[in-house]
Structure 1
Amino acid sequence: MARSNLFPDSPSTGYQGGYAVTTVIHRTYLLLAATLLFSTFTAVIGMRALFAYQHPIMIMIAAFVSLFAVQWTGGRDSPMAIPLVFVFTGLMGLSLGPVIALYLRMPAGPSIVAEALLGTAVIFGSLSLYALVSRRNFNYLGGFLMTGLVIVVLASLANMFFHMAGLQLVVAGMALLVFSGLVLFDTSRMINGGETRPVIIAVSLYLDVLNLFMALLEILGALQGGRRR
């Protein structure tokens, strides 16, 4: 069977359309779960691997290159798309390892990480469930979310130079709101036919989960007096 039949460009109508959307949803969440598990595995490696501490920029550059490769191959239903997804998410987990290790060494560090994981699961799960059950179209949020994302990125870059604790907390709060909105937006694209390629949606949702977790780590660390320095 051709891959164009496995991943149709647009859902059909009626029974076939509903079946196509359900298939996309199942494949998307299966791939998302697999990538999150793989990232967890590589994050554990990153917590112990000297390379992850010595070459974080190199790892992030490789991750961005692999992300562009995923977008290119995933948009063309290439058989290389899924292996590249695991390359990308594995590198992201590897880069996350030293960050988690740093939090774990703080006073109350294990509870911060555990609460961030739980909070991420609750936020992602509840928003995804709402979008799936309500079937509301959240495409109208796209412009607002893109603007918010640009502001978060620019503010994060600015804080790399100014090192303002207050700004860092504000940026984390904004990121939490933006990526919560993106969970609704990306899930809506999947169930309303805006995007029918599981690879593309799974990577988008993976990034939503990852950034929710990072934002919660930052917020909880600051609130408990253990802000990362």
Structure 2
Amino acid sequence: MNNYNLNSYNNQALDSHVSGVMKRVYVKMFLAMIVTALAAWACTVIPGIGMFLATHSWVYWGIAILELVLVFSLSGAINKMNSSTASLIFYLYSLLNGVTFAFIFMAYTPVSIFKTFAITAGVFGAMSIYGYFTERDLTKIGSFLTMAIIGLFIAMIVNIFWANSTLEWIVSIAGVIIFVGLTAWDTQKIKQWAESGIGATDGRLATIGALTLYLDFINLFLFLLRFFGASSRD
């Protein structure tokens, strides 16, 4: 086999490997979205659960803290876990996230939630495709957007106490822009991880990749919901 054929074979093998990893990433992410949606729906239709969560704020905040613990544990110790454990933690996180999302199901109309989900899916899909196929290095943009999240978080905390509607709109617009950009960068980053094969087995890489894109999708959905969501009380 000459060098040209060997290089061609190696490139095809690498493309096949990367494609396989990315498929596992999207499948895991999709399954996590289903788990989140079903958990949120169950909490709204099973008598007493929604009211219990609404009247016991400590439970809500306890779940929120546990979610953070799970995310940081999975992100920080992914290389020390086997693939099954990593997947279990990921799906547990998506389940708990669905419980906290029950408040969204109660606050907004189902039609507006579905409409926002469809818009989010379209934007997310377009940016993820761009991130996968673009030849442009998005590292600098991604690094800037990652730092911008810190400023966004600070602004959100400030507005909890200030309750300024103008700042809320600015935060919402900034949030959409940040997570639209992060979707493209994270997709490119996961593709590069798969190409290099550094840091994790394919199973663990698929899990951490799915978690990364899941968080991008969820945050993009929440910020878009501020624009397209219709209150169920209207």
Q: Is TM more than 0.5 here?
A: yes
The residue type paired with residue 188 of structure 2 is S
Match of 2:171 in 1: 171
Q: 1:47 aligns with which of 44, 48, 55?
A: 44
Q: 2:107 aligns with which of 102, 108, 117?
A: 102
Higher helix share: 2
Contact 1:73–1:80, Cα closer than 8 Å, also in 2: no
Contact 1:59–1:91, Cα closer than 8 Å, also in 2: yes
> Once superposed, which parts of structure 1, at least 4 consecutive aligned residues long, lie more than 6 Å away?
none
After superposition, residues 79-158 of structure 1 pair within 5 angstroms as 79-104=84-109, 110-158=110-158
Match of 2:3 in 1: none
Q: 2:13 aligns with which of 6, 13, 16?
A: 16
**Displacement of 1:176:** 0.4
Question: Does 1 or 2 have the higher relative contact order (CA < 8 Å, sep 6+)?
Answer: 2
Q: Which has the larger radius of gyration?
A: 2
Contact 1:132–1:187, Cα closer than 8 Å, also in 2: yes
Contact 1:149–1:178, Cα closer than 8 Å, also in 2: yes
**Displacement of 1:120:** 0.4
Contact 2:40–2:102, Cα closer than 8 Å, also in 1: yes
- What secondary structure, in the 3-state scheme, does the structure 1 residue paired with 2:12 have? helix
> Kindly tell me: are residues 227 and 161 of structure 1, through their superposed partners in 2, closer, same or farther at Cα, counting changes over 3 Å?
farther
Runs (5+) with no aligned partner, structure 1: 1-12, 105-109
Aligned partners of 2:85, 2:53: CA distance in 1, in Å? 26
Contact 1:21–1:190, Cα closer than 8 Å, also in 2: no
**Displacement of 1:124:** 0.5
> Kindly tell me: are residues 40 and 227 of structure 1, through their superposed partners in 2, closer, same or farther at Cα, counting changes over 3 Å?
closer
Match of 2:208 in 1: 200
Contact 1:81–1:199, Cα closer than 8 Å, also in 2: yes
C-alpha offsets along residues 108-131 of structure 1, whole Å, 9 cap, x if unaligned? xx4432221111011001111222
Alignment TM-score, normalising by the size of structure 2:
0.81
The aligned length equals 208
Runs (5+) with no aligned partner, structure 2: 1-9, 198-204
The residue type paired with residue 107 of structure 2 is L
**Displacement of 1:139:** 1.7
> Kindly tell me: are residues 24 and 185 of structure 1, through their superposed partners in 2, closer, same or farther at Cα, counting changes over 3 Å?
same
